[in-house]
Amino acid sequence: MARMKYEELIRKMTLEEKASLMSGKDFWQSQNLERLGIFSMFLADGPHGIRRQAVGSDQMGLNAGIPATCYPTEATVANSWNEDLGERVGSYLGLEAVAQKVHVLLGPGLNMKRNPLCGRNFEYFSEDPYLAGKLAAAYVRGIQSHGVSACVKHFCAKNQEERAMSIDVVVDERALREIYLTAFEIAVKEGRTRSLMTSYNKLNGTYTNENKHILQEILRGEWGYEGAVISDWGGSNDRVAGLEAGNDLEMPSNDGETDREIVLAVQNGVLDESILDRRVDNLLDLIFFTGKLEDKSRFNFDVEKHHRISQKMAEESIVLLKNEDAILPIRYDKKVAVIGEFAKTARYQGSGSSRVNPTILDNTLECFDESGIRIIDYAPGYKRYGRKSGKLKREACELAAGADIVLLYLGLDEATETQGLDRESMSLPANQIDLLEAVYEVNSSIVVCLSSGSAIEMPWIGKVKGLLHGYLGGQAGARAILRVLSGDVNPSGKLAETYPLKYEDVPSAGNFPGREVTAEYRESLFIGYRYYDTAGIAVLFPFGYGLSYTEFEYSDLRINDNGISFDLANVGKAAGMEIAQMYIHCCSDAIFRPYKELKGFKKVFINPGEVKNITIPFDDISFRYFNTLTNGWEIEEGDYEILVGASSADIRLKASMHRKGTDAPVPYRKEDLPSYFEGKAAHIGDEEFEQLLGRPLPPSNWDRKRDLGYNDTISQCRYARGVAGRLTYWIIVFLHWYLKRIGRRNEANLIMMSVYHMPFRGIARMTGGSVSMAMVDGMLLIVNGRFFRGLFKLWKEWRTNSSK
Ligand code: BGC
């Protein structure tokens, strides 16, 4: 075991002092130890801007942070497929972190987009671990170049918001490694992140924050991670188990309650003090890396400049999805009607912990003059939060009738894409679709400008000629879209996720968001294009798809053992950027796999008439697969096809090569896993999934015979034995329903985020010590039917807690 860096300093600490460092000082800061020159670090969200709260602390984005540049969200930047751009985003984030005295920036988020309905997809990069990992590593390098730390999150397999703090993710080891861990591996090895946040959920039965398999064997063991491990806010369950597994800091503060548990565990011989020392050592390394941030000359940043830069980032990330009759770019002589509430009040980021208080906020209507697009007027057309309005629709149609082109701003609202809640469907709000259909009746030259951070269904696509997806472009996103519409910028983004034709086609649709206790990842490796491609399911827009105002031609593919090269020509009239993608297909069928997987990409700028030679190297990920028999990465000997394309469905060049293997035994028998071998992974039965897992499925439903415990959520009070418990449940449900009904969706969401899906332990872990675990015991007695005993305990513990 490596020597500790701060051994001497740690030797000077008392047991209590060491334990005190293991949890927050308050909601955002780590504990300090003045006596030994150990200062507090400030940790702040992330991931697409700094959310340093000045007054009022919460992890749901309720209280505004100090103004900071709101850059495009990760889901947006992912469409740029540009690692340099990612590094630049990171670098500007790092600069602003320093300016706001933030030592640890809580991002980037690199969970996989397993299902399009996950409420936080807008905060994540992609459905592909290679692309997500490369971009995350770039962010990390950029952030850390300013001497502050990135904090990659949420480690790992956090792919839904519902019951996020209690759900047990059941996933087979190979999918865990190849899909859910690979992006983290790249961010750790290539980005060298200094800190990492564990997720809220359980993984195969154990909370990730207590999971030795991922924290010790994989993260520190296999990947050689030397940074610190931080819990998600309120995500620490059993403090001592977490510490033993590898957690170095619990956030936020619980007023020392769990520090005392650590001290007791050491005193009782339950926890070896040397383990605590190691955790303190890791944390000190992070503290001293980030430094004191006292150089005041760095406390300012050029607000206007950062705004412009964030516009550039958005410009490179916009995706042109449809351009019939070359309706775009819009010519100067066209009369344009602008319709849609989002044109007036921009939709530019999601809700929850990532919500940034922007320094400046562009909106479309204010930017038209400089765009050169001639607008005749604006009409809102629909109500933002889904309510119907015949009047708004009529006014919009009247306006549309007199225009050459209708620019229709549609998308999801911020109450739909949020932490704490998954989307209910993949569709746009019905009032927006109604509007589109009505406008189409009076004018069929429609260009839709879409704002949303995740995939949506588009049964209406036939009614629009142009479709530009701005995703969530940050505070300058509105202007960026106009620059693409006007042709000042040639669009160069490509989708980092697949758009299926309908939700039912999504391979995890039947298992999302899981049952009450578990979320079973039955589709295994087959998420996103890996599934559609292999199972032969038609999609609306494939992974890697995006149009340009010019055309590119691919030719002359050459392969050697180290990689490929080919020529890329711009054969159109406009200068532009192309994203060339390299996929690898294994010709053998001894081991089941997706038909092809992304293993390299390059974004290049090419002038009209110019030809560039592109090289893409192979790397240690290119040919590997995870073998569950050898418990390691192996290469299967055989022929491989190297596919080069403009999208996952538009392969332009192909060549074959033979690769020597690592001679590992084949881990599967085809007859045991027929659906996986056929890639038909959408409806896997219990038996086949158990075969893949190598163990019986854990119970997925609530056990009605047992009492509610620390890790049961408030929503599970519906099963409570005590009337008070059930009543609480119904009051919450009613409140939620009522708030939604009267159109107060944000407030309704808040109930889901802060109460409904919160496990009982969260009441103590999130309240900074005002509620102790012993008080939670009292609450549990009440909901479990021992009302008076519980009430007495609650009162007694409350008195003890308040007299501390
Ligand atoms: C979120 C994290 C965030 C933290 C602090 C949690 O609820 O899951 O992503 O960094 O709060 O706001």
Residue-wise pLDDT tens digits, 50-59: 999 876 677 6
Is ligand 1 within 6 A of the CB of residue 106?
Answer: yes
Architecture per CATH, domain 7-295, reads as Alpha-Beta Barrel (3.20)
Residue 77: name the closest of 493, 489, 363, 368 by CA.
493
Strand (E) or helix (H) holding 260: helix 257-267
Is the C-beta atom of 353 inside 6 A of ligand 1?
A: yes
- Helix, strand, or coil here: 481? helix
Q: Which atom of ligand 1 is nearest to the CA of 353?
A: 12
Tokens 């225009």: give the residue: 403
The CATH architecture to which 541-675 belongs is Sandwich (2.60)
Q: Are 471 and 451 in contact (CB under 8 A)?
A: yes
**pLDDT of 69-118, one tens digit each?**
999 999 999 999 999 999 999 999 999 999 999 999 999 999 999 999 99
Query: Would the CB of 59 count as within 6 Å of ligand 1?
Result: yes
Q: Is the CB of 124 under 6 A from ligand 1?
A: no
Residue 404 pLDDT exceeds 90 = yes
Nearest one of 125, 46, 143, 140 to 78, comparing CA atoms: 125
Nearest ligand 1 atom, CA 164: 8
Q: Which atom of ligand 1 lies closest to the CA of 123? A: 9
First and final C-alpha spacing in the chain = 40
At residue 299, the pLDDT reads: 74
Alpha helices in 65-128 (DSSP H): 74-77, 83-99
pLDDT digits (tens, 9 = 90+) for 691-703: 999 999 999 998 8
Q: Is ligand 1 within 6 A of the CB of residue 522?
A: no
Ligand 1 site, residue 233, Cβ cutoff 6 A: yes
At the fourth CATH level, the homologous superfamily of domain 311-496 is Glycoside hydrolase family 3 C-terminal domain (3.40.50.1700)
The CA 117 to ligand 1 mean position distance, Å, reads 19
Contact 83, 135 (CB under 8 A): yes
Cβ density class 5-29: b for 16+ within 10 Å, e for less: ebeebbeebeeebbbbbbbbbbbbb
- Residues 250-264 have pLDDT tens digits of 999 999 999 999 999
State the pLDDT at residue 760.
Answer: 94
Residue ranges, comma separated, of all CATH 3.40.50.1700 domains in the chain are 311-496
The segment(s) of the chain belonging to CATH 3.20.20.300 are 7-295
Percent of the chain at pLDDT > 70 equals 99
Atom of ligand 1 nearest to the CA of 46: 10
Atom in ligand 1 nearest the alpha carbon of residue 51:
12
Q: Which two tokens stand for residue 453?
A: 């951070």
- DSSP one-letter code for 117: T
pLDDT at 296: 61
Answer whether 232 contacts ligand 1 (Cβ < 6 A): yes
Confidence at residue 784, expressed as pLDDT on a 0 to 100 scale: 95
List, for residues 440-476, the tens digit of each pLDDT value.
999 999 999 999 999 999 999 999 999 999 999 999 9
**Residues tagged active-site:** 232
Rounded distance from Cα 156 to ligand 1 centre (Å): 14
**pTM of the predicted model, to two decimals?**
0.97
- pLDDT score for 83: 98
Phi, psi of 305, deg, nearest 5: -65, -45
pLDDT tens readout for residues 312-353: 999 999 999 999 999 999 988 999 999 999 999 999 999 989
Residue 463: closest CA among 424, 432, 490: 432
* Nearest protein Cα to ligand 1, atom 11: 59
- Measured in Å, residue 44 CA sits from the centre of ligand 1 at 9
pLDDT in tens, 669-682: 999 999 999 999 99
Delimit the CATH 2.60.40.10 region(s) of the chain: 541-675
Given a contact cutoff of 8 angstroms between Cβ atoms, the answer to whether 333 and 448 are in contact is no
Pair 587, 548: CB distance under 8 Å: no
State residue 411's pLDDT score: 97
Q: Look at residue 60 and tell me whether its pLDDT is greater than 70.
A: no
Contact 713, 702 (CB under 8 A): no
Residue with CA closest to ligand 1 atom 7: 59
Percent of the residues in the chain that have a pLDDT greater than 90, as a whole number: 90
45 lines ligand 1 (CB under 6 A): yes
- Pairing status of strand 405-411 against strand 336-339: parallel
Q: How far apart are CA 57 and CA 78, in angstroms?
A: 30
Concatenated DSSP letters for 570-599? E-SSS-EEEEEEEEEEE---SS---S-EEE
